[in-house]
Structures are given as C-alpha cells and as structure tokens.
Structure 1
Amino acid sequence: MAGYVVALLVLALLAVIPTTVAPAQATASADPPPVTVPPTGTDVDYQLGGAADVPDHVGIVVRDRTEPPATDRYNVCYVNGFQTQPDQRRFWKRHWRLVLKDDGRPVEDEAWGEWLLDVRTKAKRTTLARIVGRWTRGCADDGFDAVEYDNLDSFTRSHGLLKRRQSLAFARLLVDAAHAAGLAAGQKNLAGYDGTRIGFDFAVAEECGRYRECAAYVEDYGDLVLAIEYRRTDFRWTCSHVGDRLAVVLRDRDLTPSGVHAWC
C-alpha cells in the first residue's frame, strides 16, 4: 500500500510540472519580432503620391500606408503620425477632441493643408497611439519592413501650443508600436535631435540640403538616413556633400508617380 501511495504522489507532481513552465513559454512567444534597418549602398524612391515603377538601382521604396509595398525591395510605410492627411478630415471630425485647436479652430500646417494632432496630455497620446498603432500593424500585415512617422517637428508649427517634450513622449509610443509590429521606425525631420535615444532606427530627412541639416542627421544615424529634396539646386548640393554615403532622391513636391525622379 505504501508503494502505491508513493506512486500516486509522483504522478500528481508530474501532472503539475507543465503548469509551472507554461507562463515562461508564453512570455518567450510574446517577444516582439526582430526589426531590419534599411540597407545602405542603394538608392531610395519616395512615392507618397502614388505607386510608380521602381528602377533596378533603387533598393528602398517609401509608399503611403494605403499602397502596396514594392516587390523585392526594402519597403518603408508612410504614416502621418503627428498630423492629419488632407483627405481624412471626415475621420478626424469623428475624433474631434484629438485635433489641436486654437480658439476652437484646428491648427493647420498650411504648407500641406494638414491639421496637427493634440498630444498635450497622456490620455490623448495614449488614444492617438492606439489609432496610429492600428495603422502601423496594417503596414506590417501588408508586408512593409519599416514605418516613417510624419512629422516629429510638427510641434514647431503649433503656435506654441505643443511642447517638444509632449511630442517626444508621443513619438516613444509610436516607436514602441512599430517595434511590436516587427517594423523599423524612422524619425521624420527634426534635425539635431538624436531619435535613437527613444528607439528610432533610421531617419527620413526632407530638404536637409536646402537647410544644411544633413550633417546633423549623419551624426546621429550614420548612413541610415534617407534624404529627399524638392529643388534641383538643393539636390545637387546634397549629392555633392553626402551623396557618396546617403540615399538621396529628387522629387516633385506633389510626389506624383510620373513627376520628377532623379538620383545622385
């Protein structure tokens, strides 16, 4: 009888062992997938205005989140994380409290016709990150490799309503969302700020040649900078100063599929 009791105790102990290791296994499976940064030594095309044919020498393509990624390229998904898209005003009117307002009127980036998002409170940042996070996961599901969040320097156009620290706190949430989805995260603009401190993996610099900011991005990101110019004179300057190490493209400001495309 004693031996029978011992055997029962051993079986009981064996039965509970799997339940003690299951949580550790679940934690391991919940780890975010690894991210892959953009390749160097290749060209970039900036196709936010619509998908276009990709030349053989172009290894990196940036497209809007509503477009499919390019075949056999490193694809960056454009997501307007800090401002609204002009054609999405109906959506944001349903989330009106999340749009930054001055005396009841939305604050607008007049150069692009985009409203700024209100990231002044933790509650609003959390809600906005949940919305943008869904778009980010959509980019990953569609097969993109990375995401760029437009536009880290939006607070500079907020009439003083947004603070730098508030925008950076929101950016950290967006970077976390990208990494959780397995995407590399690109810092869009705000030269001189080292976004690697909050997890950005590379930078997308609009007109760094025009404003003589390319060196600031290189200091923080090395060769992992995608440079876009909209004026030919600035493009020539950028090519002559950093074209030997950065991916540089000249585009028309409307980024039309059949518009200007030139590389160093």
Structure 2
Amino acid sequence: MRAVLLTLLLLLVGAPATGGAAQTITLPPTGTDWDYQLGGARPVPAHVGIVERDRRAAPVAGKYDICYVNGFQTQADEKAFWHRHWSLVLKRHGTPVVDSVWGEWLLDLRTSAERHALADIMGRWTDRCAADGYQAVEYDNQDSFTRSHHLLTSADANAYSRLLVARAHGAGLAAAQKNRAGWDGTTVGFDFAVAEQCGQYHECSSYVKHYGSSVLAVEYRDKAFAHTCTHWSDRIAVLRRDVDLTRHGTRRWC
C-alpha cells in the first residue's frame, strides 16, 4: 500500500498543471486623455495617456496602448485574405453582405464552427498585438448583426464576443466593448468600453452604467462634442475626431 501511495504521489507531482497562471489584465488609466489613431499614426501629446491604433501599427512607448481589430467585419483592404476564407464571409443569395457605409463585408457568426474558426483568426491577430506591446484590444463592429438583413442575431454576436474576450484575456490583454449601447458587455467579460458618438445619441449613461469611468468616448461633430464635454468629461475620457480618423484630421480634447 505504501508503494502504491508513493507511486500516486510521484505521478501527481510530475503531472503538468491543467491551467496556467492567470494572465494579469490591466485596465486603461483614468484621469487622462485618449487618442484614436486608426487612420494613421501621429505624434501623441504629453497629456494623452491612452492611444488606440490599428493592429498593423506600432504601439506608443510609455502610453496605454489599445490594438484595433475589426473582429466582426472585414477591412476594405483585406478582401484577398477573406477570399481565402470565403466560407466565413456572410452571404445573402450568394453575395457578401456589405456594411454600405464602410464597404466592409460582414463575417458569418451563425454557427459554432464558424464562430470558433473566426475566433482562431482574430486570436492570432490578438496574440500579435500582445507580442507588439499592446495592453488591450478593441474588436470593432460588435453590432454587425443589425446590418445583416436578419441573417445574424444578437445571440450570435454574444457567443462570438465571449470567444474573443477569452482570446484577449488569454493573451494578457484587456478587451473593449465597442458601441452597441444598451447591452451590458460585462456579461461576456468585456473590461471597458469604446463609444462612438455616445453624446450625440444620448447613450453615454448606458456605458457608464456598466463600466463606470472605464469608458473612452469619441465624437465627430462639434455640437455633440461640446455636449459630451459638458455632461461627461468629469467621469470619462472624451475626444473630438474627424469621422474618417485621418492622420492630420481634427483632434481636440475637453
């Protein structure tokens, strides 16, 4: 019996851990300004502590860096890539479903197999963000189901979001809910929010309700920017940008 117990003990000691140590997730700092640089990198003023850039751009040393990944739609300049993953593009009558504003194809989230395949692609991009030195990731177009001609549902988006958050956390990155006001993204694990035009559409309170001061707001019109600064800048970071986020475009803070 002693020999059997000793053997079991040795096996337990030598067995690999079933789950690695939890990654440390760092939220964006509060009490600082942020910059939204998807249209091209530009110098960052000293008062800005948070910067978001496209996943193919370099992060900014000494800042809290957010990596932009278009998780629910295709980038307009990546159609060749998605032709190689054609089964993952959402189609209606054999034709890709398009976000008409940006000319982006919607991704197909309707089955578990498709969601996992897409999460593997986004996961590789997320791992690259982490390796490059980013601290967080934003998966854009989480409301793509509203543009899908009823082919996608909110349940599809929620299930896929949960997979993306798990990939982000596995890489040690915080994950941002992007837009989709009225939905509590913390239910699938999102850590903070990036909100476009929440002042213009009177939605800022929805994000603050779920994320407190961990909300980054961007406005694209002067009147909405002034409103958001007046009513929300004491609690969240507010930025004025041009809607195309051009490299030399509008950029102001409250």
- In the superposition, the TM-score normalised over structure 1's length comes to 0.92
Q: Given the alignment, which residue of 9, 12, 18 partners 1:20? A: 12
Partner SS for 2:226: helix
* Alpha-carbon distance in 1 for matches of 2:181, 2:14: 46
* Alpha-carbon distance in 2 for matches of 1:169, 1:177: 13
Aligned residue pairs, count: 253
* Alpha-carbon distance in 2 for matches of 1:46, 1:221: 19
Alignment correspondent of 1:97: 87
* Alpha-carbon distance in 2 for matches of 1:34, 1:27: 18
- 1:210-231 deviations in whole A, cap 9, x for unaligned? 1110011111111000001111
* Alpha-carbon distance in 2 for matches of 1:194, 1:148: 16
Q: Any stretches of 5+ residues in structure 1 without a counterpart?
A: 1-8
Q: Cα distance, 1:83 vs. partner?
A: 0.4
Aligned pairs for 1:33-44 within 5 A: 33-44=23-34
Q: Tell whether the 8 Å contact from 1:61 to 1:76 is kept in structure 2 after alignment.
A: yes
Q: What is the aligned-residue identity percentage? A: 59
Q: Kindly indicate which of the two structures has a greater share of residues assigned to helix.
A: 1
Given residue 252 of structure 2, which amino acid in structure 1 is its aligned partner? A
Alignment correspondent of 1:86: 76
Alignment correspondent of 1:72: 62
- In the superposition, the TM-score normalised over structure 2's length comes to 0.95
Alignment correspondent of 2:218: 228
Aligned pairs for 1:1-264 within 5 A: 17-23=9-15, 26-27=17-18, 30-264=20-254
* Alpha-carbon distance in 2 for matches of 1:88, 1:225: 29
Q: CA RMSD in A?
A: 1.6
- 1:59-90 deviations in whole A, cap 9, x for unaligned? 00000000010110000000000000000000
User: Radius of gyration: which is bigger?
Assistant: 1
Partner SS for 1:61: strand
- 1:125-144 deviations in whole A, cap 9, x for unaligned? 01000000000011000000
Q: Cα distance, 1:239 vs. partner?
A: 0.6
Q: Cα distance, 1:113 vs. partner?
A: 1.2
* Alpha-carbon distance in 2 for matches of 1:155, 1:13: 56
